[in-house]
Structure formats: C-alpha cells, structure tokens
Chain A
Amino acid sequence: MLNADLEVDARGLNCPLPILRAKKGINSLASGQVMKVVATDPGSVKDLEVFCRQTGNEMLETSQHDGEYHFNIRKG
C-alpha cells in the first residue's frame, strides 16, 4: 500500500466538489508526491480519471471499500 503525502476527504460531496478538493490538494504538492482522495460519490471514479487525464497527473490505483472510493494520484 502506498503512503500518501496528502489525504483529501471528499466523502459526502458530489460533483464538482471532489474535483475542486482534488485540484486544491494536488496544487499543494510537489511533482512526484502522492495524494490520496477518499470519496463516496460513484461518479467520482470517472470524474477523477478525467481529472488526471486533463491535468497530467497519474492515477496510480483506485479501490472501493464499504461504499467509499479510494484514489492514489501522483502529481505529474
């Protein structure tokens, strides 16, 4: 399991708020650092994939546990 440099809690938030949180979070990191995002909105899976594609960051892994979606994103 990866150790994230920053964890962003987007639980209970719907589009576009998880993306806003992810954007603010990733902006605070240096290149190569990892941000973990935890969300509950099922749409966040696709949204964060698009986010990574559009921002040049790398989606390292996604997983789902008990209605929560976990994403590890490496800053590009």
Chain B
Amino acid sequence: MTKRLKASERRATILAVAKVLFSDKGYHGVSVDEIATRLGVSPAILYRHFPSKEVLYEAVLNEIACKRESYVGVVVDSDGSFDDVLRKITRIYIDSVSRDPDYLRMELHSALEGSDATRQFFENRWKPFTDYIEFSLGEMLARKSIAPVEPRVAALAFQGMLREALYAKCIYRSSRYVDMPLPELCELLVDMFLQSIGYGATPCVDTTDATARSD
C-alpha cells in the first residue's frame, strides 16, 4: 500500500528525485513521465505541485543554490567595500553549491544541451558576480583607482576561475588541490583577482611579489 504523504513531504520527495535525474541526464534527458514513474505516482500528481518541467527544474536549482535573501544578508553585513562584498558573495555561493555537486552537474549538462531556458537559469545565478564586478570596476576606472582593465573581461575571468575551482574540487576531485579546502582555494583566487586588477586594499596572502596599485 502506498503511504499518503503530506503536500510538503510530497513536494520534497519530488524535488529530491528530480534533482538526481536532472543531474544524471540533464533537462532534456528527463521527461515528466520518467520522474513520475520513479516516484511511483501519476504525472497528474506531479503537475499538481509543479505546473511544468521548467518550473520543477528551477525549483530544484532554488533548493540547492543560495537564495537572493542570502546575498542581501551578506551585503548588509559587509563594510561596503568592493573586496569585502566580493569575498562575501563568493563565500556564500561556493558554500551553497559545494554542499550539493548535483547543481554543478546540472550546470554542465545545461552547457552541453544548449537550451536557452536552462542557460538562462544558470546565467542568472552568475549575474550577482558578473554585474557587480563589471559595474564596480567601471566606477573605479572612472575614478582611476584601479589599473586599466576591461570590466566585462574581468567579470568573465572571475566567473571562469571560480567555476573551474568548483569543478576541480567538487566534480573532478582533483588530487592536485587535495591539500586546499575549497574556501581557502577560492579566497586565494579572489586575492589573485584583486591583485590582477590593481585593487590595492587587499593584503597579499601569498609570498609572490604583488604590485597592487591604488591611487
């Protein structure tokens, strides 16, 4: 006999099963029927909780990745400086994503599938970084307080290095970085990024000869 679940329990079970399937096969590789079959329920029950596969997919991502409220919290707690806000939003993002590497697998699948809808979901997750870096560097350039740099390229470089660090640690589990916990690795990458744009407020944590400039 099938146990009757409360709505909240049913919703949580759907999300858990859908997450495993999406991370294993991607958005297009999974049908609503397949999720329903795996759950042992009819597609109608699934649609009662999630009106479409797209909504279910987004709900799975929202369960894993940090919410916007979390960004508000860290910005409120920050001293408002570029480096402090960048460090704090980076930390909160890697904490949430590294807790569940299925999120990263879904991102990789999305890149291969080339679907506009799923690509948009992930782009939105990176927007707090890319928009914040691009806009802030534009302002700092106008004040001549950093070295000449192309803000969009800098934002892309930051996104690339952070994403690669997450893949190396959480997906590939690379032995090369085994002695570096992810938060420490990301902290070093943020330091390196700040040095590379000539942001002078960050103390150098490495032994290399940093030549950070500030006007």
Contacts and interface: CB of A to CB of B under 8 A. Distances in A.
Contacts of B127: 14-15
A43 interface: yes
A46 B62 CA distance: 15
5 contacts: A15-B68, A16-B89, A16-B132, A20-B85, A51-B76
A19 B128 contact: no
B80 interface: yes
B210 interface: no
B71 A20 contact: no
A15 B93 CA distance: 14
Given A14-B128, A24-B80, A19 B69 contact: no
B135 interface: yes
Nearest to A55: B76
A47 B72 contact: yes
> Could you say which of B69, B72, B85, B132 has the most chain A C-beta atoms within 10 Å of its C-beta?
B72
Contacts of A60: none
Q: DSSP class of A's interface residues: helix, strand, loop or mixed?
A: helix
Nearest to B88: A16
Interface residues of B, number: 17
> Could you say which of A16, A17, A20 has the most chain B C-beta atoms within 10 Å of its C-beta?
A16
Contacts of A20: 75, 80, 85
Given A19-B75, A23-B80, 9 more contacts: A14-B128, A15-B128, A16-B71, A16-B132, A17-B132, A17-B135, A20-B85, A24-B80, A54-B73
Interface size class for chain A? 10 to 19
B208 to A, nearest CB: 30
Nearest to B76: A54
B75 A23 contact: yes
Interface in B60-74: 68-69, 71-74
Contacts of A46: 68-69
B80 A50 contact: no
A13 interface: yes
A65 B81 CA distance: 32
Contact of A50 (B69, B128, B135): B69
B184 interface: no
Nearest to B71: A16
A19 B76 contact: yes
> Could you say which of A20, A43, A55 has the most chain B C-beta atoms within 10 Å of its C-beta?
A20
A51 B73 CA distance: 7
B131 interface: yes
B72 A50 contact: yes
